[in-house]
Structure 1
């Protein structure tokens, strides 16, 4: 009998009515003749409330105790969903992350899964029960509770799929699947039936918050198929796997965007005092994520390093640079706000040169200025003024014919 892992996030289980709807869905899924393991997150409102309780008591709660506290949110959700399944006549049992056998390292608030012992899960599945696991959490070698950080519940689901040799992981969300662009800003965006792990990694890293990159990386490593599907509607969703059947003439598979980007620039009096390694080491020590990087070293002009960061990390970045100014050796720092990143993604770009030129030509035709550029084998990203972000995304979606199937079908 095949095993399926189903993961439900906070929005799908935010109310008692929604929990009952999920219970009906999973009972129906199990009735198709499968072993079913359900992984749940905590409700967003509960997470916020727990964090607020902690900060009402202390300004600096310990990471270990915060893990103990925050882990209870998903435990509550798993117990409520199990009750709902039982109330509807189904057989189910809830397990915490550690009861489910998820073992992690001891990095509190951002632990990594090291092993999964699924003996207990298998015993419950053998009894015909739906196993409901609290996601986002595990236990260390010395039995301390840990949480897995961003993407933790999805990572829990994939790790369980690997250990149980599951057929796939179904990720239920508030969207029908992965689209060629955000339907809220691109009118003719359409859902992709399939997408590769590498393409999904690019989308996830470029601001598509449906699936966290670490879960995709784990699925790719162990070749676990993922399906993004709707909480509300009965649609096939988007299958994420290794090799996909490329649609005819579709070199670019989608357009992604990220708003509220800030460009920081630091300058040096001479090349000898400029050190990329030292700058980014200082930022990394404070867990500041740097994205696009451009270094300019030209004879007769003072060298500069420009890089982009998210808006929420701006204040901390300035503080780190100011504190480290003498040791880093730069002479000035400047910044530009009101920027956005727009990207095109597609595995077909590897074997089709000229895609970037076509992108720049279309943006030039639209008189949209490009301030920075970053590329990989299957992605080209540009930094543009934020008030041009929507227009840029629509223009690129049109340029690479991403609405072609929708138009031909209408």
Structure 2
């Protein structure tokens, strides 16, 4: 069987008109001779009746166990799957809705951010063999004890890729409300270009550094199994961006993230035990840190602004002297081919200096160079870097 997995996000299933386009895109592939498996997210966003955030608001102000919270928010995708399956049926096609459990998505017990351990797609294969279109509720799975779990934000992308790997699909198509992966956020850079093809590693870095087109975990999974991914718009016939093993560019794009804080901690250079306790306590509180610079007497890193109060409590309990700066942003130059190429950092400094933008901190990897700046400068920075690297 030639199989394609298609995932449709919340905006793609939010309205009757959008849902008709979902059916159109799926049937286009079916008419090309593919067997199709459709994965869906919950309908719409906060305020829409069955959106994940709307379901979460039902628990507002109450302490609820993570298991019950997952059970509640898994309902949004199940509703979408049933509705989309019924639309196929209404047009004369055999279709069947599946929960994550019924689709064979097996996870660990980390409710709210579960990791897929295995996929047993027997029910999906049986449906395909019988000429039935499977419509799978994304974002969810089941533990060995049959408890329903959710996969965290962007989890439907991961569902689609995991199924694609298990079914040996030719491609996984991720449908969203943008036409593909751009060289920068088009809301900031009006002349940002869509990338026809891009390497897995570069897309992963763009996603981790603020681009929200696809979840990085899904890209990493696709890279591991060498499954081509295609990012497309539900509202267009454009073929979008193909993600696969292709030569990497020196600079592929500019990503950015906002609502960041910088934390500077003063720790005596001879107190290694305290240094370890700080990072241990922050980790136990679930605080993710980034852009880490370690000096003998000062430890500097960034974190999300909404984690600042928790981090401050940890540091006060430890009696540590610290300084917090809020309202910051991170701009990141992404390019898998920049390793060993001189002058990339110089170009970044020149571009930001020209716009009188202060660089508060930097970090880099083989494929990225990130600069911490004031949030008020983020638009100028993205525009300047996009122009400097002639993207």
Q: Same fold (TM over 0.5)?
A: yes
Q: What residue number does 1:175 align with?
A: 178
- The 8 Å contact of residues 27 and 85 in structure 1, kept in 2 or not, is answered as no
TM-fit CA distance, 1:351: 3.5
Please tell me whether residue 150 in structure 1 is matched to residue 144 in structure 2. Answer: no
Gaps of 5+ in 2: none
Q: What TM-score, normalized by structure 2, do the two folds share? A: 0.94
CA distance in 2, matches of 1:376, 1:277: 24
TM-fit CA distance, 1:87: 1.2
Please tell me whether residue 251 in structure 1 is matched to residue 281 in structure 2. Answer: no
CA distance in 2, matches of 1:145, 1:389: 40
Please tell me whether residue 321 in structure 1 is matched to residue 315 in structure 2. Answer: yes
CA distance in 2, matches of 1:316, 1:27: 49
CA distance in 2, matches of 1:363, 1:198: 26
CA distance in 2, matches of 1:103, 1:178: 30
Aligned residues: 385
Q: Which of 55, 59, 62 is the aligned partner of 1:54?
A: 59
Please tell me whether residue 233 in structure 1 is matched to residue 232 in structure 2. Answer: no
CA distance in 1, matches of 2:279, 2:20: 48
Matches within 5 A, 1:165-244: 165-242=168-245, 244=246
CA distance in 2, matches of 1:365, 1:139: 53
CA distance in 2, matches of 1:397, 1:211: 21
Please tell me whether residue 397 in structure 1 is matched to residue 386 in structure 2. Answer: yes
Q: Which of 111, 130, 134 is the aligned partner of 1:131?
A: 134
> Where in structure 1 do 4 or more consecutive aligned residues deviate above 3 Å?
274-277
Matches within 5 A, 1:367-382: 367-382=356-371
Q: What residue number does 1:278 align with?
A: 277
CA distance in 2, matches of 1:351, 1:295: 24
**Aligned to 2:338, what secondary structure does the other structure show?**
helix
Q: Deviations over 1:158-217 (max 9, x none)?
A: 110111000111000111101111111012210011111110111011011111111111
Q: What residue number does 1:265 align with?
A: 264
Gaps of 5+ in 1: 298-302, 403-410
Q: What TM-score, normalized by structure 1, do the two folds share? A: 0.90
Matches within 5 A, 1:30-49: 30-43=30-43, 44=45, 45=48, 46=50, 47-49=52-54
Q: What residue number does 2:337 align with?
A: 348
TM-fit CA distance, 1:276: 4.2
